[in-house]
Structure 1
Amino acid sequence: MLINKSFANQAGVSLIEILVTTLILGVGLLGVAALQISSLSSNQEGLFASQATAIAEDYASRVRSSKTSTVMPNTNISYAQFVAAYHNGNNAPLACAAAPAQLCRSDAGNAALDCTLAQLAIYDQWEVCSAAQEALPGGLVRVLNNGIRLTIVVDWDSEQGREDIGNVAVRNNNCSPLTGSNTRNCVILELVP
């Protein structure tokens, strides 16, 4: 019987081959872990953007609804007065420290009260501002008046929202002029009421 002499002396895999294989496997697993962290980061930022979009759309529908219920039946309210009511006048974030005295929509079993345009606007701003603070890290809502249209900006602190993955900030160049910060990301919605 012929025996190949090169295989006759080999008794198994060498230790160096095992170490090289382990090293390659370790590098591959590190790559998979890095991809997982990157995926988590992108998913988290996508969640914040979705929540901010929903908040901006909620404010836009509140503005449209208020126009239908207050301006159209009342000819004493001008378009400029209506837009001014839903814009806080200084492009600063909306204030939502305390609930307004007048609850203009039914809430938790409380009946809605009859409200003026100004009271309804204050209530809507408070509700939207509170939603942003609850849903987003450092969430703020700003409303800018460009004459005939309103620009609704919902912004959040992207570094604060990413504390678990190393405070990586998302840079959105459209947000910096509106928020005054390079660490805030935002959603911008233009509205012609």
Structure 2
Amino acid sequence: MHSPVNLRSSARNQAGVTLLEVMISVLIMAVGMLGIAAMQTTSLRNTQSSMERSQAVIQSYSIIDAMRVNRVQARAGRYNTSGMACAVPEDDGSQSAADRHAWMTSLKNSMGNGAAGDTTTCGNINCTAAGVCTVIVQWDDQRGRDISGSASETQQVRTVVLL
């Protein structure tokens, strides 16, 4: 026959949770919380990068709309920049110069730091006589880069339209 099991001694031996079990549970929770924090950080970084890319597209369309209004001057090359322009151009009184000045000022304020010496937020406009215009917006996407990256991450959005 079987001998009866002493249930009282078994219950007394397993009355509580051991310190080791608690420490393992805390460790698992800590690793989980660190994972959640890392995902949140990545999400914020990618959201900022996405917002800057959207701003670049909006700024490209802004100058393209201005060139559509002043199509003759755009086809004549009055909106063209000589390479990547990082400085806000002077307004000489013409509509094209006023549009370029307003565009670059808006570009610097919305994407750059707005400082006069900002050399990371730049724009390039090149229109041909046939009306094919290329607008390039460049900026420093330092928040969107990999965590291990040490250099700035320059991004460009290129828009080509036919006026």
1:1-193 correspondence runs (5 A): 4=7, 5-67=9-71, 71=72, 82-88=75-81, 90-93=82-85, 95-96=87-88, 98=90, 100-102=91-93, 119-137=94-112, 138-145=120-127, 148=130, 149-159=132-142, 162=143, 183-193=153-163
2:122 maps to amino acid:
L
User: Relative to structure 1, is the Cα distance of residues 146 and 57 closer, same or farther in structure 2, using a 3 angstrom cutoff?
Assistant: same
Query: Do 1:86 and 1:121's aligned partners in 2 also have CA atoms closer than 8 Å?
Result: yes
Structure 2 spans left out of the alignment, 5+ residues = 113-119
Summarize deviations over 1:122-166 as a string: whole Å, max 9, x none.
Answer: 11111110011101133211113466311101111112xx29x95
State the shift of 1:167 in Å: 8.2
TM-score scaled to structure 1, two decimals? 0.68
d(CA) in 1 for partners of 2:148 and 2:110?
Answer: 18
Indicate the SS of the match to 2:33.
Answer: helix
User: Relative to structure 1, is the Cα distance of residues 188 and 139 closer, same or farther in structure 2, using a 3 angstrom cutoff?
Assistant: same
TM-score scaled to structure 2, two decimals? 0.79
- Point out the structure with max Rg over C-alpha: 2
User: Relative to structure 1, is the Cα distance of residues 28 and 94 closer, same or farther in structure 2, using a 3 angstrom cutoff?
Assistant: closer
Query: Do 1:83 and 1:150's aligned partners in 2 also have CA atoms closer than 8 Å?
Result: no
Query: Do 2:79 and 2:127's aligned partners in 1 also have CA atoms closer than 8 Å?
Result: no
Indicate the SS of the match to 1:84.
Answer: coil
Query: Do 1:158 and 1:169's aligned partners in 2 also have CA atoms closer than 8 Å?
Result: no
User: Relative to structure 1, is the Cα distance of residues 133 and 167 closer, same or farther in structure 2, using a 3 angstrom cutoff?
Assistant: farther
State the shift of 1:95 in Å: 3.8
User: Relative to structure 1, is the Cα distance of residues 26 and 94 closer, same or farther in structure 2, using a 3 angstrom cutoff?
Assistant: closer
User: How many pairs align?
Assistant: 150
User: Relative to structure 1, is the Cα distance of residues 146 and 18 closer, same or farther in structure 2, using a 3 angstrom cutoff?
Assistant: farther
Return structure 1 stretches of 4+ with deviation > 4 angstroms: 165-170
Partner of 1:174 in structure 2?
Answer: none
Once superposed, what is the RMSD of the aligned Cα atoms?
2.9
% identity of equivalent residues: 23
